[in-house]
C-alpha cells in the first residue's frame, strides 16, 4: 500500500504506466514491470537477469524501513499530519541512483514536467543503452493503434565522456547544457560514482548539501532533493515556496518575516521547523505533507482540511494584494 514519493518532480525515475495497470521502467540492468493488487505488489522482469531482483527492489523502495511506526510517531507530533496519514497511508522515499537523480534535477530547474520528461527521454536515447521495445496494447475492442515504447538505460559518466554543450543544447536542454557538462567534469575529478556513494554513508545532511552545491546548476534545494531521494539523507528537507507555505501555515507564521524570497537563513529555518517537530526521518514526514498539497490528492483528503488549505491560500493572496496596494500608495505620495 505504499506510494512512492519524489516530491517536486516525479519524472526522474523514468517509470511510466502501461495501460494504467502496470508501472514499467529500468532498474540497473533490468526492465521491470510492477503491479499493485489489493493485498500485495507483484513484479516481473521484462529484460535482464531475474536473479537478485527482489533484493534490488527492496533496496530501491527502501523496504528495510517500516512505515507504520513512523506514521504513528509523526501523527503524535502533528495532528494535521495524523489526518493526512489516514487518507494517504503509504508515502515512502525511493533510493534512486545518485547520478540519475543528480542530472535529472539539474534538468528540472525552471521547467515543467512534460518538458522535463521529453528532455530526459532525449538524454537517455542519445547517451544511454537500448534495453528493449515494449509493444503498446490496443484498446479492449482491438481497435487501438499498436506502437511501441523504447526503454533506454540512464547514461553513465563513461557514456557522457564525449558529450558536448552544443549537443545538449541541440536536444533542448538550453542553459542547463552547460551545467550538465561542468557537473560531469567535476564529478569525474571528484571520483565519479564512488564519490556520490560515499556521500550516502555520511550522517550529516548539511555537510552533504555543502558538498553537492559545489556542482554547477545545484543550489540548496536541488542538493537536498538529491540527498533525500538518492543518498539516504533522511534529515534533508528540500525547501521551495510550497514547503515554506506549509511551514508558515502550520508551524510558524513568522518564518518568512518581511523577506520577499527564501534566503539561505530562511531556508535553514524552514527545514529546522520540520526537523524539530519530527525526530525520525523528518525528510519523509515533510514529503508526506508535501504530497498532501498536490491537486491529485485533494479528492481523498478530509473536506475540512481542503477547506482550510483554500482559506489560507486566499488569505495569503489578500495579504499580498494589500501589500502591493500599500506600496503603490506610498510611491504615489
249-295 confidence digits (pLDDT tens)? 999 999 988 888 899 999 999 999 999 999 999 999 999 999 999 99
Amino acid 38: pLDDT: 85
Grid coordinates representing 204?
Answer: 550529516
Phi-psi region of 226 (alpha: psi -120 to 50; beta: other; left: phi over 0): alpha
Amino acid 5: pLDDT: 43
Helices (H), the chain: 53-60, 67-77, 79-87, 98-108, 113-127, 165-170, 176-190, 193-199, 205-212, 220-230, 241-250, 264-277, 282-292, 303-332
More confident call, 143 vs 266: 266
Whether the predicted pLDDT of 1 surpasses 70:
no
More confident call, 1 vs 289: 289
Whole-angstrom distance between the N-terminal and C-terminal Cα of the chain? 60
Cα separation, 225 vs 9, in Å, equals 9
What confidence tier does 242 reach under pLDDT thresholds 50, 70, 90?
very high
What confidence tier does 327 reach under pLDDT thresholds 50, 70, 90?
confident
Q: Which of 129-143, 169-183, 200-214 has the lowest mean pLDDT?
A: 129-143
Q: Phi and psi of 282, rounded to 5°?
A: -60, -30
What does the pLDDT average to over 13-34? 80
Whether the predicted pLDDT of 140 surpasses 60:
no
Amino acid 172: pLDDT: 92
Asked about 54 being catalytic, the answer comes back as: no
195: three-class secondary structure by DSSP: helix
Say which residues have a Cβ less than 8 Å from residue 103's Cβ, sequence separation at least 6. Answer: 123, 154, 155, 180, 183
Cα separation, 11 vs 29, in Å, equals 19
Cα separation, 166 vs 103, in Å, equals 17
Amino acid 2: pLDDT: 45
Using N-to-C axis directions, what is the helix angle for 98-108 and 113-127, rounded to 10°?
A: 130
Cα separation, 22 vs 4, in Å, equals 14
What does the pLDDT average to over 75-94? 95
Amino acid 205: pLDDT: 97
Tell me the pTM.
Answer: 0.89
Whether the predicted pLDDT of 129 surpasses 50:
yes
Which residues lie across from 150 on neighbouring strands? 133
What confidence tier does 50 reach under pLDDT thresholds 50, 70, 90?
very high
Whether the predicted pLDDT of 299 surpasses 70:
yes
Which of these is catalytic: 9, 83, 214, 221? 221
Q: Which residue has the cell 548539501?
A: 209
Amino acid 4: pLDDT: 45
What confidence tier does 320 reach under pLDDT thresholds 50, 70, 90?
confident
Amino acid at each position: 500500500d505504499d506510494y512512492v514519493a519524489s516530491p517536486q518532480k516525479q519524472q526522474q525515475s523514468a517509470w511510466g504506466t502501461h495501460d494504467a495497470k502496470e508501472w514499467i521502467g529500468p532498474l540497473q540492468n533490468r526492465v521491470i514491470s510492477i503491479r499493485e493488487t489489493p493485498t500485495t505488489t507483484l513484479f516481473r522482469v521484462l529484460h535482464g537477469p531475474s536473479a537478485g531482483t527482489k533484493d534490488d527492489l527492496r533496496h530501491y523502495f527502501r523496504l528495510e524501513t517500516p512505515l507504520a511506526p513512523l506514521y504513528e510517531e509523526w501523527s503524535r507530533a502533528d495532528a494535521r499530519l495524523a489526518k493526512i496519514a489516514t487518507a494517504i497511508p503509504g508515502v515512502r522515499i525511493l533510493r534512486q541512483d545518485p547520478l540519475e537523480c543528480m542530472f535529472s534535477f539539474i534538468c528540472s530547474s525552471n521547467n515543467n514536467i512534460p518538458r522535463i520528461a521529453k528532455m530526459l527521454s532525449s538524454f537517455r536515447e542519445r547517451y544511454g543503452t537500448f534495453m528493449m521495445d515494449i509493444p503498446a496494447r490496443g484498446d479492449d475492442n482491438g481497435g487501438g493503434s499498436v506502437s511501441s515504447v523504447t526503454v533506454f538505460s540512464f547514461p553513465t559518466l563513461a557514456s557522457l565522456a564525449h558529450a558536448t554543450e552544443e549537443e545538449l543544447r541541440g536536444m533542448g536542454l538550453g542553459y542547463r547544457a552547460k551545467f550538465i557538462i561542468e557537473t560531469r567534469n567535476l564529478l569525474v575529478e571528484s571520483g565519479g560514482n564512488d564519490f556520490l556513494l560515499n556521500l550516502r554513508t555520511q550522517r550529516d545532511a548539511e555537510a552533504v548539501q555543502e558538498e553537492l552545491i559545489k556542482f554547477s546548476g545545484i543550489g540548496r534545494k536541488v542538493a537536498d532533493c538529491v540527498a533525500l531521494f538518492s543518498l539516504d539523507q533522511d534529515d534533508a528537507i528540500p525547501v521551495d515556496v510550497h514547503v515554506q507555505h506549509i511551514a508558515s501555515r502550520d508551524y510558524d507564521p513568522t518564518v518568512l518575516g518581511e523577506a520577499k524570497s527564501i534566503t539561505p537563513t530562511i531556508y535553514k529555518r524552514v527545514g529546522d521547523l520540520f526537523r524539530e517537530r519530527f525526530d525520525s526521518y523528518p525528510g519523509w514526514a515533510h514529503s508526506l505533507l508535501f504530497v498532501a498539497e498536490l491537486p491529485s490528492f485533494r479528492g481523498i483528503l478530509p473536506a475540512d482540511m481542503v477547506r482550510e488549505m483554500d482559506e489560507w491560500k486566499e488569505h495569503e493572496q489578500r495579504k499580498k494584494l494589500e501589500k502591493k496596494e500599500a506600496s503603490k500608495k506610498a510611491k504615489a505620495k
